[in-house]
C-alpha cells in the first residue's frame, strides 16, 4: 500500500513505533518517500540510511537520551546515501498540523514559534493576526499523508483498533491520511474498551495486521518495555556507513519478516 | 573529565548542579520537564523537599512519579506512574499554551547572555558543523510557561556570545523584548550550571552570576563564559549539598543505571 514517491507518516511518540512496518518498506525497496514523523527515531534513521527517503518532515531528530541519529545526519550533512530535504517544525506545530489534517482544515493554528529562528528556515510556518483580539498567532499547513501507519495494542476481528498509554498523534495521523495501516500486538474477539478509550473504528482503517512485538525496540504498554539498551546500542551500529549497511543486510534485508528479524538479532546480541 | 571528578568535599560539580536546580522547584509547583538534566533535577525535588510538585512531560503524562529517570521523553514508566496521560495535541494546547504551567524546565546545547537557547544546529543551518536534534517542545515551553528554569553545564562551547540558532526564545535582545513580542510567560528566571546560578538583570535581562557554588570560583565561571560575565555585587555562595540530598540523588541515579542496563 506504500508506493514510490508517497508521503507517509509512521507515528508513535516514543511508544508504539511501527518498526515492523518500517522494515517491510525497506525490504520492498521503496524510493523517493517523504517521511513525516515528529521524532524520526531509529525507524526513520533506518529508512533514510537505506535510501528510501528524499524528504523528512520532523520536529525533534535525535536518538532520545543517547545522542544523534547518525544516518539522518549523514544524509543532511553529506547527501549519503541520497540527498535529503528537511522541513523542520516543533512538536506543538506538528501536533496542530496533524489535527488540521484530521479535521480536513487547511492549516493548524497555535501560539508558537514566536521569537525563534525556525520560521526563517521553514517558509511554511506563517503568522496571522487574530481577527478578534489582534494577537499574532502561528499557522502551519495541514499534514495529509498518502499513507499513515501506526502500531497499537489490540484490534478486534472486525478491525476496530484500541490503544492506550502515550498515544501521541496516532489518532490524528490515521484520520489525516488517505490510507491507514495498523499493526497490532494481538487480534482479539472483543476489545472490551472503556467508553472513552482511544478506539479507531474499523471503517477509518484500510488494513490491520497482527505483528507481535512489532514496536521493538520501542514498546507496547502492557506487553513489553522500551528496550533502552538497544537504543544505546544503535549508536554503535549506525555511526559508520559500512557497519550500518552490514547490519541492515543481515537483520532486515536478509530476513523475510519481523519474526525473522527478531530471531536473527537474537543470534548475535542479547538485545532482542 | 575534571568537572565531574570527586573533589575533596565529597560531591561532584554535576551533583551540585542537579541539587541546586532541584531546590529551585517549590512544593506544589506545576512543572513541564525537559529530558536529561532538567528531568533529574525535577525528580530529585519530588523525592526531597517537594513531594507534591506536579511533573508534566511533553509525551503526555501529567503528575508523573517515575521511580527511575526516563531515558526518553516517553518511557513507559512515565505513563504508568502518572495521574493521567493525554494526547500530544492536548499537552501543548490545553496544558502548555493554555497557561497552566508554572515552571518550564529546559536544557540546551548553547545559551547566550539573554538566555536564548539553541538545540538545533552549530554553524550554518544549511552547512552545519554539528546537526543537533532540534526543537521538540521547547519553543512553546519557553514562550508559554509562567517562568523558565534552565540547567546546563558551564563552558565556553555552551555559553556563547551569540547562539547560532534561536530554538527557544529567552529574553531575545534583552530589556522588555518579550513583552513587545507578546509572550505570556516571564521567560528564564534562573540558569543553574555546575559552577553557579545566573539570573537575568531586572532591567537589561542580561544573565548575571548571582550565586557561586561552594567548591567553584568566580574566576572559573568568568573563564567558562563566552561573553564578559557580570558578577552581582552581593554574590552569594550556594549551600553545599546536604547528606540527604546527596543520598537521594545517588540512589536515583543508581536505580536508573541498573534498570536501563538490565533491559539488555
State the SS3 of chain A.
Answer: CCCCCCEEEECCCCECCCHHHHHHHHHCCCCCEEEECCCCHHHHHHHHHCCCEEEEEECCCEECCCEECHHHHHHHHHCCCCCCEEEECCHHHHHHHHHHHHCCCCEEEECCCCCCCHHHHCCCCEEEECCCCCCEEEEEECCCCCEEEEEEEEEECCCCEEECCCCCCHHHHHHHCCEEEEEEEEEECCCCCCCCCEEECHHHCCEEEECCCCCCCCEECCCECCCHHHHHHHHHHHHCHHHHHHHHHHHHHCCCCHHHHHHHHHHHCCCC
C-alpha cell at A128: 496571522
Count of CB atoms situated within 10 Å of the CB of A271? 17
Taking CA atoms, A227 is separated from A232, B123, B223, B255, in Å, by 9, 33, 41, 16
Instruction: Find chain B residues with C-beta within 8 A of A39's C-beta.
Output: 136
CB atoms closer than 10 angstroms to residue B202? 7
Confidence (pLDDT) at B264: 41
Domain boundaries, chain A: 7-88+145-241, 91-141
pLDDT of amino acid B2: 44
> B2-258 falls under which CATH superfamily?
Glutaconate Coenzyme A-transferase (3.40.1080.10)
Among A11, A227, A228, the residue to mutate for chain B (most B Cβ within 10 A): A228
| A166–B85 C-beta distance less than 8 A | yes
Chain A residues within an 8 Å CB radius of B263? 225-229
Enumerate the active-site residues of B: 58
Name the residue of chain B whose CA is nearest to A271's CA. B264
pLDDT digits (tens, 9 = 90+) for B166-198: 999 999 999 999 999 999 999 999 999 999 999
Q: Which CATH number applies to A7-88+145-241?
A: 3.40.1080.10
Work out the minimum CA distance from A30 to partner chain B, whole angstroms.
26
So what's the pLDDT on residue B6?
A: 54
Task: Give the chain B residue whose CA is nearest to the CA of A233.
Answer: B264
Taking the C-alpha atoms of residue A204 and residue A159, their distance in angstroms, rounded to an integer, is 9
| pTM of the predicted structure, to 2 decimals | 0.95
Neighbours of A142 (CB within 10 A): 19
Q: For chain B, which residues make up each domain, given as ranges?
A: 2-258
**pLDDT (tens place) for every residue of chain B, 264 residues total:** 344 455 557 999 999 999 999 999 999 999 999 988 999 999 999 999 999 999 999 999 999 999 999 998 899 999 999 999 999 999 999 999 999 999 999 999 999 999 999 999 999 999 888 889 999 999 999 999 999 999 999 999 999 999 999 999 999 999 999 999 999 999 999 999 999 999 999 999 999 999 999 999 999 999 999 999 999 999 999 999 999 999 999 999 999 999 887 654
Write down the pLDDT at residue A272: 43
- Which of A220, A164, A222, A173 has the alpha carbon at shortest distance from A196? A164
Partner-chain residue, chosen from B137, B172, B261, that has the shortest CB–CB distance to A115: B172
* pLDDT the model gives residue B3: 44
Parts of chain A with a pLDDT under 50 = 271-272
Sheet-wide strand order for B207-213: B84-85, B61-62, B54-57, B30-33, B103-106, B147-151, B188-192, B196-200, B207-213, B230-238
Distance set, CA A239 to CA A46, B74, B193, B253 (Å): 12, 24, 30, 27
In SS3 terms, B168-226 reads as: ECCCCCCCCHHHHHCCCCCCEEEEECCCEEEEECCCCCCEEEEEEECCCCHHHHHHCCC
Which residues in chain A are closer than 8 Å to B140, comparing Cβ atoms?
90-92, 110-112
CB–CB of A114 and B74 under 8 A?
Answer: no
List CB contacts (< 8 A) between A227 and chain B: 263-264
**Cβ <8 Å between B88 and A168:** yes
Cβ distance of B59 and A14 shorter than 8 Å? yes
Minimal Cβ distance to B264: which of A172, A198, A229: A229
pLDDT, residue B133, reads 95
Amino acid at each position: 500500500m506504500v508506493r514510490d514517491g508517497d508521503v507517509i507518516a509512521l507515528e508513535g511518540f516514543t511508544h508504539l513505533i511501527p518498526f515492523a512496518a518500517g522494515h517491510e518498506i525497506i525490504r520492498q525497496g521503496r524510493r523517493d518517500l517523504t517521511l513525516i514523523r515528529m521524532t524520526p527515531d531509529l525507524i526513520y534513521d533506518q529508512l533514510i540510511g537505506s535510501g528510501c527517503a528524499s524528504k523528512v518532515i520532523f520536529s525533534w531528530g535525535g536518538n532520545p537520551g543517547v545522542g544523534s541519529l547518525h544516518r539522518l545526519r549523514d544524509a543532511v550533512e553529506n547527501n549519503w546515501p541520497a540527498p535529503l530535504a528537511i522541513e523542520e517544525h516543533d512538536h506543538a506545530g506538528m501536533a496542530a498540523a496533524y489535527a488540521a489534517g484530521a479535521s480536513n482544515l487547511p492549516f493548524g493554528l497555535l501560539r508558537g514559534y514566536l521569537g525563534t529562528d525556525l520560521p526563517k528556515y521553514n517558509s511554511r510556518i506563517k503568522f496571522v493576526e487574530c481577527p478578534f483580539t489582534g494577537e499574532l498567532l502561528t499557522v502551519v499547513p495541514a499534514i495529509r499523508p498518502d499513507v499513515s501507519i501506526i502500531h497499537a495494542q489490540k484490534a478486534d476481528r472486525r478491525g476496530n483498533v484500541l490503544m492506550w498509554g502515550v498515544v501521541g498523534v496516532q489518532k490524528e495521523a490515521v484520520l489525516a491520511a488517505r490510507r491507514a495501516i495498523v499493526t497490532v500486538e494481538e487480534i482479539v474477539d472483543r476489545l472490551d474498551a472503556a467508553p472513552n478509550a482511544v478506539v479507531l473504528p474499523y471503517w477509518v482503517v484500510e488494513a490491520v495486521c497482527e505483528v507481535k512485538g512489532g514496536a521493538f525496540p520501542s514498546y507496547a504498554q502492557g506487553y513489553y518495555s522500551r528496550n533502552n539498551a538497544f537504543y544505546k546500542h544503535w549508536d554503535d551500529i549506525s555511526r559508520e556507513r559500512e557497519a550500518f549497511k552490514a547490519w541492515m543486510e543481515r537483520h532486515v534485508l536478509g530476513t523475510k519478516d519481523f519474526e525473522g528479524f527478531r530471531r536473527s538479532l537474537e543470534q548475535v546480541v542479547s538485545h532482542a | 573529565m575534571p568537572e565531574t571528578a570527586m573533589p575533596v568535599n565529597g560531591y561532584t560539580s554535576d551533583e551540585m548542579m542537579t541539587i541546586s536546580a532541584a531546590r529551585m522547584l517549590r512544593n506544589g509547583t506545576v512543572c513541564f520537564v525537559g529530558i536529561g538534566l532538567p528531568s533529574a533535577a525535577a525528580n530529585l525535588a519530588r523525592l526531597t523537599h517537594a513531594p507534591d510538585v506536579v511533573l508534566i512531560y511533553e509525551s503526555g503524562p501529567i503528575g508523573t512519579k517515575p521511580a527511575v529517570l526516563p531515558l526518553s521523553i516517553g518511557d513507559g514508566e512515565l505513563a504508568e506512574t502518572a495521574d493521567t496521560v493525554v494526547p500530544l495535541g492536548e499537552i501543548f494546547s490545553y496544558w502548555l499554551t493554555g497557561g497552566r504551567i508554572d515552571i518550564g524546565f529546559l536544557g540546551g546545547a548553547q545559551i547566550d547572555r539573554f538566555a536564548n537557547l539553541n538545540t538545533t544546529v552549530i554553524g550554518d543551518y544549511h552547512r552545519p558543523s554539528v546537526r543537533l536534534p532540534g526543537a521538540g517542545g521547547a519553543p512553546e515551553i519557553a514562550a508559554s510557561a509562567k517562568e523558565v528554569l534552565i540547567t546546563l553545564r558551564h563552558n565556553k562551547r555552551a555559553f556563547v556570545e551569540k547562539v547560532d540558532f534561536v530554538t527557544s526564545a529567552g529574553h531575545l535582545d534583552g530589556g522588555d523584548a518579550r513583552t513587545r513580542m507578546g509572550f505570556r510567560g516571564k521567560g528564564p528566571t534562573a540558569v543553574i550550571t555546575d559552577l553557579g546560578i545566573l539570573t537575568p538583570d531586572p532591567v537589561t535581562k542580561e544573565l548575571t552570576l548571582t550565586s557561586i557554588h561552594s567548591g567553584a570560583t568566580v574566576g572559573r565561571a568568568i573563564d567558562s563564559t563566552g561573553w564578559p560575565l557580570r558578577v552581582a555585587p552581593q554574590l552569594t555562595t550556594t549551600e553545599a549539598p546536604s547528606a540527604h540530598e546527596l543520598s537521594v540523588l545517588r540512589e536515583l541515579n543508581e536505580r536508573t543505571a541498573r534498570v536501563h542496563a538490565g533491559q539488555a
